[in-house]
Structure 1
Amino acid sequence: GLSLPNNWLIMIMIIIIGNLGIMAIGSLVSGLAMRAKMSEILLPILLFPLVSPLLIGSVKATNGWFQGIPFMNWQFWVLLMITFVVVFALLGYTIFDHITEE
């Protein structure tokens, strides 16, 4: 048996932050790649390096939660994920109209 921690709100928070980050980065990168000639090749080339720190942070935070490690020991990864969400969401919000202009 695998014993799971009781505090599911932290795990739900990690999932939501990770999904919001992937959504924000993906929207911005797809807007940038939309006008390129070979956008189907450019999209993964741009997307993977930008999403990698977010995925690493999600894995590290989830690992800390599963192992029952105190939040103070893995809060850096959650803060990194939140920073990615805020930066890319604001960046996408401010420049998406400019990117998608005809």
Structure 2
Amino acid sequence: MAIAWKDLVLEMRGREVIVLLSVFGFLILTLFSLSAQAGSPALTELAPGVLWITFLFAGVLGLGRTFDRERENGCFHGLLLSPADPVQIYWGKCLSTLIFILVFQALLWPVFTVLYGFSPIKGVFFAWAGFVLGDLGFVALGVLLSSMTIHLRSREMLLPLLLFPLCLPVLVGGVRCTTIALTGGDPGLAWIWLGRLMAFDVIFISLGTLLFPMVVEE
């Protein structure tokens, strides 16, 4: 918890990353919204995928910074020598990154609904349940892969190449939940996709918890 709090305090002091990512997300959503009229069937079908691609790219940029401060200041090994257990470090990094991504999504959600002609409160439960569960699996896998690439020169390119294919099940589940939420689809189907997301979350979190201590000890 202390590690998550430290990361969040540092991000709040700087704020430049969340501001830049918000501008980046706004530009992507705006560019895609210009491809069709708001509320048109084509844009309705396209919108959930566009939203999640925006989250995905912003999330990778956020994950790339997970261990940046420790690496740049030469503190990574000091962090490992601290009283904190490697599993606690992993969970702390996951929590801070999850909160960071959720804040980004909260900032973009009203912009998205206005640009694409959706109600900000229609299907909000399934949309945000999909966000939280999708983010959880994405972050659990992303923090593990980020720790594996921390000392590599091409880590900025390698992280997305490793992460995107592996988190595809989470992305598909998130897009499906968002589509059902925005179009008023079958709630039973939404619950099925949420259940699948939870299953992938359990798998990714378990893998991260088991493998992270071995990765950082290498």
- Range into which the TM-score falls when normalised by the shorter chain: 0.7 to 0.9
Instruction: Summarize the alignment of residues 10-25 of structure 1 with structure 2, pairs less than 5 Å apart.
Output: 10-25=126-141
Pair 1:56-2:172 in alignment: yes
CA RMSD of aligned residues (A): 2.3
Structure 1 equivalent of residue 158 of structure 2:
42
Pair 1:98-2:98 in alignment: no
Q: What are the superposed Cα offsets for residues 27-49 of structure 1, whole Å, 9 maximum, x if unpaired?
A: 11112223545433321111010
Contact 1:5 1:68 in 2 (8 A): no
**Cα separation, partners in 2 of 1:34 and 1:100, compared to 1, 3 Å:** same
Percentage identity across aligned positions?
A: 32
Letter in 1 for 2:206: L
Matches of 1:100 and 1:28 in 2, distance apart? 10
State the TM-score, normalizing by the size of structure 1. Answer: 0.80
Matches of 2:212 and 2:179 in 1, distance apart? 34
Letter in 1 for 2:185: I
Letter in 2 for 1:23: V
By relative contact order (CA 8 Å, sep 6+), the higher-ranking structure is 1
**Cα separation, partners in 2 of 1:96 and 1:59, compared to 1, 3 Å:** same
State the TM-score, normalizing by the size of structure 2. Answer: 0.41
- Who wins on radius of gyration, i.e. which is larger? 2
Pair 1:29-2:145 in alignment: yes
Letter in 1 for 2:141: I
Unaligned runs of 5+ in 1: none
Unaligned runs of 5+ in 2: 1-116
Contact 2:177 2:194 in 1 (8 A): yes
Q: What are the superposed Cα offsets for residues 43-95 of structure 1, whole Å, 9 maximum, x if unpaired?
A: 11110101222112111111111221222223332222111211111111112
Contact 1:64 1:70 in 2 (8 A): yes
Q: What is the deviation of 1:25? A: 1.2
Contact 1:33 1:42 in 2 (8 A): yes
Corresponding pairs, count: 102
